[in-house]
Structure 1
């Protein structure tokens, strides 16, 4: 059995004169929480639709659970649960009734899965409450319940925390971690809320303008996100001179606002501050810091605003 749940090779999607996805080679191992990162319009949703069978590729191939033949892919997709562009709910129905409709539509045998799944997502006590009266977080959890009804091995979620309040974000995060750790479900989650992905993902794929720029593990990211000493002195040029002449290093950056990011001597902050002060630099800010996922992403795509 393949160690990979999903692999794509040269996956490309073109719309007339636009290439939405360009030669994407992506791999997701069994048991991973794969954070799919990209600006709005980068190609995340297009990729997910191709994998879910909701659109057809212009070029390239998809391998799901080791299956690449189109007929076998149809069967393999029955082992996948998806939420794409928000759950489609009947507002006049209860959570239980919504799941029953979904169960019948998907041909899932037996009604016992409904109560079991509602309990799994924490909605077992909603009773006769109509979904139109649910909070956004409750609606997202019901959407997850719909995706989980067939007990999938692979869960694909497109922006599942978009628009949620802080408590709703925490609820969804804890639920996804539970599904991964206790149920062994592999998860692909696309989001532009990078700080949240940083708390969830074991692996990352970064996409920009339809191209997959990089795949890396959480450990890889930790190693690549450089830690540094954040230094602000009254005269940045003087601080720079001290670093070069007294500490013999050029491993630093001077930011447009005059902040100095010193990448050397991170483990010796006392030496740096003492040397700066001894040479007449007035220290206004001094603290150890490290790049996070958002900074790394911005640097990788070449800066600029992203959503």
Structure 2
């Protein structure tokens, strides 16, 4: 099995004078859930369309399942399920009839996959109910059922929780987690709900003005957003010794400017300050610091509304 489901190399897309994607190098490991984040117009949907063959790059290359040659790439795309834009749902058809219509259109053999896809997304018991009477959450799940036709190994989903109420968001999250865990499906998902991606993604990519600024794992992101006690004293070396000896921890670092970042005892700051003061240290600054996930992403992409 190839280690990477998707890799791009210097992927660029230009629309007349607008540079939508600028030399993007993206790597998505098999079995991961890749959270793709950026502002409106940052290039998320453009990249997804290039990967799925709905648009063509100006330059650069795409590799899917280890395949990059044009003919092999077309075959590799048959292993992808896509929900980038709302698929054409027929309002006077049932869930089954809608998915069956897409199966026929795509030339997927065997009707049994229709019932399987509907069951997976929790729409197996909707009976004769027409799509026009579905809630937004049901329509989103119906779109996902269409994407799951053909038993894909890689799902590409653009804002699958957009417009859902809190319960619908939770249901979609659990469904995607189940597909990833039980079926081993790799997922590329964009969302403007950063807290939701934090509960789902194993890897992240941050895009801004068509440039992929950063790729990192969930653990790396958590480490960068780690909360700490910021401490400034008159004698940082002596303070470090007190922290290590009296507070019994080495979870701290002394920065070049003499400030100390203490990652332990966050719930007991009084004990920390008392220990330092008891050894005659003059405390100049003492406060909890750190970024939450939204602050980190906003800082990296320069603020603004998210897609």
Q: Label 1:306 to 1:251 Cα distance change in 2 as closer, same or farther (>3 A).
A: farther
What CA distance in whole angstroms lies between the structure 1 residues aligned with 2:6 and 2:66? 8
Q: Could you list the per-position Cα deviations for residues 214-249 of structure 1 after superposition, in whole angstroms to 9, with x for gaps in the alignment? A: 11111111111131249xxxxxxxxx9xx4337769
**Separation in 1 of the partners of 2:104 and 2:273?**
68
TM-score, reference length from structure 2 = 0.85
Which whole-Å CA distance do the structure 2 matches of 1:215 and 1:40 have between them?
A: 19
Q: 2:246 matched to which residue of 1?
A: none
1:228: which partner in 2?
228
Determine the C-alpha separation between the residues in 2 that align with 1:263 and 1:293. 22
1:244 to 222, 233, 257: 233
Structure 1 position 192, deviation (Å): 1.8
SS at match of 1:146: helix
The farther-off stretch of 46-55 and 214-223 is 214-223
Aligned Cα root-mean-square deviation (Å): 2.6
Report the counterpart of residue 17 of structure 2 in structure 1. Answer: 17
Q: Cα offset for 1:272?
A: 4.2
Deviation at 1:275, TM superposition (A): 7.4
How far did residue 290 of structure 1 move?
A: 4.6
The alignment partner of 2:261 has SS state of coil
Provide closer, same or farther for how the CA distance between residues 205 and 229 of structure 1 changes in structure 2, counting only shifts above 3 A.
same
Indicate conservation of the 8 Å contact 1:121/1:141, yes or no: yes
> What whole-Å deviation, never above 9, does each CA across 1:130-189 have from its counterpart, x for those lacking one?
111111111111100000011000000001111110000001000000000000000000
What is the aligned counterpart of 2:262 among 249, 262, 265?
Answer: 265
Q: Secondary structure at the match of 1:152?
A: coil
Shift of 1:66: 0.9
The aligned residue for residue 103 of structure 1 is 103
1:304 aligns with 2:303: yes
**Stretch deviating more after TM superposition (141-150 or 263-272):** 263-272
SS at match of 1:140: helix
Q: What is the distance in 2 between the residues matched to 1:198 and 1:148?
A: 24
Q: Secondary structure at the match of 1:75?
A: helix
Residue 172 in structure 1 maps to residue 161 in structure 2:
no
Deviations 1:85-110 (A, max 9, x none): 22321111110000110010011111
Give 3-state SS (helix, strand or coil) of 1:264's partner: strand
Query: In the aligned structure 1, how far is the partner of 2:180 from the partner of 2:148?
Result: 12
Give 1:295 deviation, angstroms.
1.5
How many matched pairs?
Answer: 283
In terms of mean alpha carbon deviation, does 182-191 or 243-252 score higher? 243-252
